[in-house]
Chains A and B, each alone.
Chain A
Amino acid sequence: MKYLDEYRQSDGIQKIAAEIHRITTSPWTLMEVCGGQTHAIVRNRLDQLLPKELELVHGPGCPVCVTPLEMLDRAIAVARLPEVIFCSFGDMLRVPGSEHDLLTVKAAGGDIRIVYSPLQAVQIAEQNPTKEIVFFAVGFETTAAANAMAASLAKTKALGNFSMLVSQFLVTPAIESICSAPDSRVQGFLAAGHVCSITGYERYLPLAEKYRIPIVITGFEPLDILEGILMCVDQLEQGACQVQNQYRRAVERVGNRQAQDLIQSVFRISTQHWRGVGSIPQSGLSFNDEFASLDATVKFDINNIKTTERHDCMSGDIMLGHKKPKDCPHFGKECRPEQPLGAPMVSSEGACSAYYRYSQQERSNEHPVPATLKN
């Protein structure tokens, strides 16, 4: 498959892995920021190709994992209303709120629909004028552009029955929060390529300089990730701290101006609560005054729903790179994908879920398949 196969070829990947081994002389701790990268690392077991001196820790870049508990409880409260058709991306449905998840509401008769694009929710609003359509607008800058487009379209069409429950996050403030933490172990970042395709990477330049830390904008295929690691380690070994762009085929320095303008026309930057992490100033998006009428929290008067996180899930420590999923006493026992205690066990991009599904096995080299029988 064009644009994918060439980044999954074993030969190229092995060459880069060998180069990483060759240049690594010291132990280093790198953080891959995005859940999609975490997923690719554990799915392809790229960790098995790395020298033991390198440690990868998983960042807070999974929108499912960081959406606050109270936002889920608000979503559940709205989705229960008989007049509401609640539209959401698929992987939000299984995330546990305080008591239930959205799938439970669906089973109890709530009209909850999985959509693949926020524009589908706008279409549903047009088709169902007697119903209230609420779209759960979750994600980072990657989804913010499409969500802004949906809001803009609904306003243009004067759809009074469409609103959005917004839980939008900005990546750079979270990275800064990790960098500035006194106990941070992270020495280099693989920044999320998809986010940077929207934002560009100029905003990372002052971060790299201020915290003397290398940041490599990295893609999501095995070759991308290993190349990003190689570039990051190379900088660390040489004492450099630059922003480099590994994901050149998708990311430009200035990003996608059109998408940025669209986001700015609908949202304003605000303080955002990150599940398991806490509040980070200037790290979220809320509707600006012009689009305030689309805010579902106001429309359905659910701002008063405030809930606190259970303390038996250490998702914050995991998402900040302080701990690995296997350090959690509940991992694989009380907390499993089919019965998650916290969000990182729900999303396929959550570090705990990825670890649970793709690791822990023993190698087996018995009875190898005879080469003559293959293909």
Chain B
Amino acid sequence: MNIQCPLPSRTEQTIKLGHGSGGEMTQHLLTNHIQPFFNNSWISQAYDSATLPWDSDRLVFTTDSFVITPLFFPGGNIGELAVYGTVNDLAMAGAEAKFLSCGLILEEGLPMATLEQVLASMAEAARKTGVELVTGDTKVVERGKGDGIYINTSGVGVLQGNQPINPSRIRSGDLILLSGDIGRHGISVMANRKGLKFESSLTSDCAPLNGAVAKLLRGGVEIHCLRDLTRGGLATALVELAESCNRGLVLEESSIPVSEAVQGACEILGLDPLYVANEGRFVAFIPEKSSRLATSILRNTEVGSSCEIIGHVGSEGHAQVILRNDLGCDRLLQRLPGEQLPRIC
């Protein structure tokens, strides 16, 4: 008689529900497939939390979750997105990211090779941004109840400058500096997801922004506010900021950089690049006296080489964003009401 052991083999090629059981298989997953990517003194203790060295009252804390289809897109993947996204959120507060946590929600059936590819990207992104991934958690959901991998990363960082960086510091007369051309991430992911083929090889702008922000601060640029442009795009971010600081923002349409590939795709799909998602772009609100210094520093960074001054902050009490076109006509920008849907014709 041939008796077969019902326990899964120890060399799994895919994620099984048992990997989320908290038992033997979970331990195997952690020890053999996850921890090796993030080897440091905190994670090797395998506690539920990390005790971190801290001697500052300038702690900044943030969290962000990442759900994206496809997991791998032109110019990036969910792993590096999960690291850069949280590092960037900290950078937008003027903080240098120090430590990240990583919560993985894995779908039953996910190939182990895919998981390891994502984790390798996370490790590389952490190395690139100088951040340590010190604690984490893994859960497994049944097949069909997740898109392969969901990731949550929380991060702590230390404030760099002497002044806070937030919307309340925006002043009338500030200039608005955009770090680069917009819409690459949203269009490249959409094209990849829908199998749309464009002639140009468009890639996501997925990138860490902490280096550029650090250079601006070290260079002595006075920064009032920073905001990275993710879901909802440039327009939605600026509308939120206008409302936060209760001031009008006036943009010059011709100054906003949009690549021909993104513009072309938006023309075909009936989308507005101002509302398309980005993952490696930010706006900085800076006093006019700092603008030359800021643009010269930013243009010497990888993420800011095509930065432009795109507008200015108007008077208090008119919390709206106006886009002025080449014809001298004004258009009011509003939040994206829902998902941008491609037009019929």
Contact = CB atoms under 8 A, between A and B. Distances in A.
Is B one of A's binding partners?
A: yes
Interface of A: 1, 4, 8, 10, 13-14, 17, 36, 42-46, 48-49, 63-64, 89-94, 103, 114, 116, 138-140, 142-143, 194, 222, 336-338, 347-349, 356-364, 366-370, 373-375
Interface in B302-323: 308-309, 311-315, 318, 320, 322
Contacts of A91: 270, 341-344
Given A361-B322, A369-B309, A93 B330 contact: no
A375 B308 contact: yes
Interface string B238-257: 00000000001010100100
Given A1-B264, A46-B329, A48-B330, A63 B288 contact: no
B59 interface: no
B327 A10 contact: yes
Contacts of A359: 331-332
Interface residues of B, number: 44
Contacts of B318: 362, 364
Given A364-B315, A373-B291, A374-B252, A94 B329 contact: no
A142 B344 CA distance: 10
A283 B325 CA distance: 38
Nearest to A336: B337
B308 A139 contact: no
Best-buried of B173, B311, B314, B345 by chain A (most CB within 10 Å): B345
Contacts, number: 128
B292 interface: yes
A363 to B, nearest CB: 6
Contact of B332 (A222, A349, A357): A357
Nearest to A194: B345
A374 B338 contact: no
A374 B341 contact: no
Contacts of A142: 345
Nearest to A143: B345
5 contacts: A91-B270, A142-B345, A336-B337, A358-B331, A360-B332
B314 A364 contact: yes
B309 A139 contact: no
A349 B343 contact: yes
A368 to B, nearest CB: 7
Contacts of B344: 63-64, 89-92, 138-139, 143, 347
Nearest to A36: B345
A135 B322 CA distance: 39
B199 interface: no
Given A138-B344, A368-B312, A375-B255, A222 B337 contact: no
A367 B342 contact: no
Interface string B25-60: 000000000000000000000000000000000000
Contacts of A143: 344-345
B345 A45 contact: no
A369 B311 contact: yes
Contact of A358 (B264, B332, B338): B332
A347 B175 contact: no
A140 B330 contact: no
B20 to A, nearest CB: 24
A48 B329 CA distance: 6
A116 B343 CA distance: 9
A278 to B, nearest CB: 22
A90 B345 contact: no
A374 B178 CA distance: 12
A240 to B, nearest CB: 28
B327 A364 contact: no
Given A91-B344, A93-B341, 10 more contacts: A4-B267, A10-B327, A92-B344, A103-B338, A114-B341, A338-B338, A363-B330, A367-B250, A369-B250, A373-B292
B327 A44 contact: yes
Contact of B252 (A94, A139, A356, A369): A369
Contacts of A14: 327
B343 A364 contact: no
Contacts of A362: 318, 320
B342 A13 contact: no
A358 B272 CA distance: 13
A191 B309 CA distance: 39
A43 B326 CA distance: 13
Nearest to B270: A348
A347 B343 contact: yes
B127 to A, nearest CB: 36
B196 interface: yes
A369 B343 contact: no
Given A362-B318, A373-B288, A348 B172 contact: no
A43 B331 contact: yes
B313 A367 contact: yes
Interface string B156-180: 0000000000000000110100000
Contacts of B252: 369, 374
A368 B315 CA distance: 11
B337 to A, nearest CB: 4
B179 to A, nearest CB: 15
B113 interface: no
A324 B322 CA distance: 22
Nearest to A136: B344
A373 to B, nearest CB: 5
A42 B323 CA distance: 12
A49 B334 CA distance: 22
B342 A116 contact: yes
B329 A49 contact: yes
Given A336-B337, A369-B309, A348 B327 contact: no
Best-buried of A8, A10, A45, A94 by chain B (most CB within 10 Å): A45
B65 interface: no
